[in-house]
Amino acid sequence: MTAQPTRPLPWARRLNDVLDKFHEIHGGDRFPVNMENLIQEVPQTFRTGEPIAIQGEAMDPEFEGALFNLNAEQPGKGNWAIIYNKAIPSAGRIRFTLAHELGHYLVHRHLHDEFNCNEADTLHWDSPARQMENQANEFAAHLLMPRPDYEAQIKSATIDLDVLGGCADRYGVSLTAATLKWLEFTPQRAVLVISNKGLVQWARGSQSGKWLSIALNKKLNGQQRRLPSQCATMLQTDSNVDRQGTKIGARNWFSDEPKDMALREMPGPLHSDVIHQKPPRLHEI
Ligand SMILES: [Zn+2]
C-alpha cells in the first residue's frame, strides 16, 4: 500500500481518486459527496484500525460539530465519534461540517483526542490562530468541491449568484462555501462580504482582491465598518435581490479606486452574502 498522506490537500485528492474510481465502476451521482457513506468507508479503505461512528444531536446554534476519541485513555486504540448539530437547518452546512471533522480525523487525530468546532471554525478560512481549523476547512472544500470539476462547471460564464448557486447545489454546500471556494482560484478581483444590520462581519478576497478584504476587515476606532450608504446592498430590499449584480461606481466601496472604475455588487439572500467584483484594473497592465 502506498504511503498515506499527512497533509489536507493530498488527503482530499486521495479520497477524490477513490470516489472517481468508485463511480466509474458503479455509476451513481459523483456529486454531492455522500459524507456518511464515505466516513464509514475510510477506516477500512485506509486500514487505520480506528473506526468512526456518526451521530446527529440537536444542540445550540453556534455549535457545528465535533470529533472525539472515545478511547482516549487507551493510547493507540482510537475509537472515534463525529457528532454534528442536527438542529442546523442547512443540509449543505452539515455536509461541510462532516467533511471538516473527517479532515481532523485524517490529518490531526494523532495530535488531539477531541475537536470542538463552531461556525467561526468552519467559515474563517484564513485565521492564522486556527491552523488546524483552516486545514480541516481546506480538506473539506477540496473534497466536496474539487477544483478541476468546479472550473469545468463555470468555464467562461460570467459569475453571478445563479452560477455560484448552481455550483452550491451541485456540491451540496452553502452558497457561502461555494463562493469561498471560487475565490480561491478566480483571477478576478472579487470580495465576499458578510454583513449583519449594516455592519461588516468579515470579508474574504480572491488572490487579486486581497487588499479589498483587508480594508473591509480593518476596524475603525474599534468598531466594525459600516456598509457604504450608497451601496446596492443598503439601497435594495430583501424582495429585490439582484442575482446578476448591480453595476455601481467602485468608489462607493473603496475610496482610492479610480473615478471611472465600476464594480458589480450582488446582494445575497437576506443581505448576508454580498459579492463585489471588478474587471482587472486596466491601468495596471
Ligand atoms: Zn474543527
For the segment 143-196, what is each residue's pLDDT rounded down to a tens digit? 999 999 999 999 888 898 899 999 999 999 998 899 999 999 999 999 999 888
How confident is the model over 67-90, as a mean pLDDT?
Answer: 92
Judge residue 242's burial from the number of C-beta atoms within 10 Å of its C-beta, 0-12 exposed, 13-18 middle, 19 or more buried: middle
Q: What is the pLDDT of residue 127?
A: 56
Q: What is the pLDDT of residue 274?
A: 42
Separation of CA 204 and ligand 1 centre (Å): 19
* Cross-strand pairs, 247: 264
Q: Work out the number of other CB atoms within 10 angstroms of the CB of residue 16.
A: 18
Decide if 1 is inside a domain.
no
Range of the domain at 52: 8-144
Which residues are in the CB-under-5-Å shell of ion ligand 1? 115, 117, 121, 133, 136
Do 170 and 105 lie in a common domain? no
Residues whose CB is less than 8 angstroms from the CB of residue 155 and which lie 6 or more positions away in sequence, other chains included: none
Q: Single out the residue in 83, 117, 144 at which a domain terminates.
A: 144
Top-confidence range, 99-103, 132-136, 176-180, 196-200: 99-103
Domain count, the chain: 2
Q: What is the pLDDT of residue 66?
A: 95
Separation of CA 87 and ligand 1 centre (Å): 18
Q: What is the pLDDT of residue 183?
A: 93
How confident is the model over 93-114, as a mean pLDDT?
Answer: 94
Do 15 and 96 lie in a common domain? yes
Please check whether residue 85 is in contact with residue 32, taking contact to mean a CB–CB distance below 8 angstroms: no
Q: Single out the residue in 92, 122, 144 at which a domain terminates.
A: 144
Residue 98 CA to residue 34 CA, distance in Å, equals 10
Residues whose CB is less than 8 angstroms from the CB of residue 232 and which lie 6 or more positions away in sequence, other chains included: 242, 246, 248, 265, 266, 267
Separation of CA 198 and ligand 1 centre (Å): 29
Q: What is the pLDDT of residue 122?
A: 66
Residue 270, CA distances (Å) to 3, 174, 195, 237 in order: 47, 14, 10, 9
Decide if 149 is inside a domain.
no
Q: What is the pLDDT of residue 281?
A: 34
Instruction: Check whether 272 has a pLDDT greater than 80.
Output: no
Instruction: Check whether 242 has a pLDDT greater than 90.
Output: no
Decide if 150 is inside a domain.
no
How confident is the model over 122-135, as a mean pLDDT?
Answer: 71
Instruction: Give every strand in the sheet of 80-85, ordered side by side.
Output: 52-57, 80-85, 63-69, 114-118
Enumerate the H helices of 34-130 as residue ranges.
35-45, 91-108, 119-123
Separation of CA 178 and ligand 1 centre (Å): 19
DSSP-based three-state secondary structure for 245: coil
Q: Which residue has the cell 468598531?
A: 223
How confident is the model over 93-105, as a mean pLDDT?
Answer: 96
Instruction: Check whether 253 has a pLDDT greater than 80.
Output: yes
Q: Single out the residue in 97, 116, 144 at which a domain terminates.
A: 144
Separation of CA 277 and ligand 1 centre (Å): 30
Do 140 and 12 lie in a common domain? yes
Separation of CA 121 and ligand 1 centre (Å): 6
Separation of CA 64 and ligand 1 centre (Å): 9
Do 87 and 190 lie in a common domain? no
- Residue closest to 185 by CA, chosen among 139, 216, 142, 131: 142
Do 140 and 90 lie in a common domain? yes
Separation of CA 265 and ligand 1 centre (Å): 31
Do 124 and 198 lie in a common domain? no
Do 17 and 88 lie in a common domain? yes
Decide if 136 is inside a domain.
yes
Do 62 and 117 lie in a common domain? yes
Q: What is the pLDDT of residue 75?
A: 80
Do 64 and 161 lie in a common domain? no
Do 136 and 176 lie in a common domain? no
Do 170 and 267 lie in a common domain? yes
Do 168 and 196 lie in a common domain? yes
